[in-house]
Amino acid sequence: MARNLTDPFDGFLRGVRYLIMDRDPLFTTCFRNMLNKSGTKPVRLPSRSPNLNAFAERFVLSIKTECLNKIIPLGEKHLRLAIKEYMAHYHTERNHQGLDNRIILSDDSVGRSEGDIKTRSRLGGCLNYYCRDAA
């Protein structure tokens, strides 16, 4: 599995410098060594730190409920496209409660009170973002 993840041509971890992992016994020393050899540094979470994993679990819940439960991926390429589109939506169009309902990477159109309202749709309308045109 580690060889598949770190394949230099189409591996999921291609170009990834760090992989954060918990202390699950599935992540053996052999697995971590193979990651190191491919240039990906495995970073293990401290033991007895259940709240550190809460951020990752919250993201997984978000992507499942807002995106993946609404589509049927028609293969790996389609699934990767859906995740890529969700990530763009997540970082540039979605409000985050932990940031006082602000957008992570906002542009000038955020917070305008004048101009026509327009919508941007992703994934055939599964993900929508509403903003105002320049006045």
Predicted confidence at residue 111, as pLDDT, reads 63
Residue 114 pLDDT > 80:
no
* 44 shares a domain with 55: no
What was the pLDDT predicted at 44? 87
pLDDT band at 107 (very low <50, low <70, confident <90, very high): low
96 and 124 together in one domain: yes
Is the domain of 3 the same as that of 17?
yes
The reported pLDDT for the residue numbered 83 is 92
Q: Residues 1, 62: one domain?
A: no
pLDDT digits (tens, 9 = 90+) for 16-41: 888 888 888 888 888 888 888 888 89
In the chain, which ranges are continuous DSSP H helix? 2-5, 29-37, 54-66, 76-92
Which 3-state string (H, E, C) describes 101-118? CEECCCCCCCCCCCCCEE
Coil/strand/helix, residue 122: strand
Q: Which of 25, 43, 36, 45 lies closest to 2 in space, CA to CA?
A: 36
Count of domains for the chain? 2
The rounded mean pLDDT for the chain is 81
Q: Indicate if 44 and 61 belong to the same structural domain.
A: no
Contacts of 30 (CB under 8 A, 6+ apart): 2
Q: Output the pTM of the full model.
A: 0.57
* Same domain membership, residue 61 and residue 42: no
Of 61-65, 67-71, 83-87, 100-104, which range is least confident?
100-104
25 shares its domain with 66: no
pLDDT tens for 57-80 read: 888 898 999 889 998 989 999 999
Give the residue numbers spanning the domain of 59. Answer: 51-135
Same domain for 13 and 41: yes
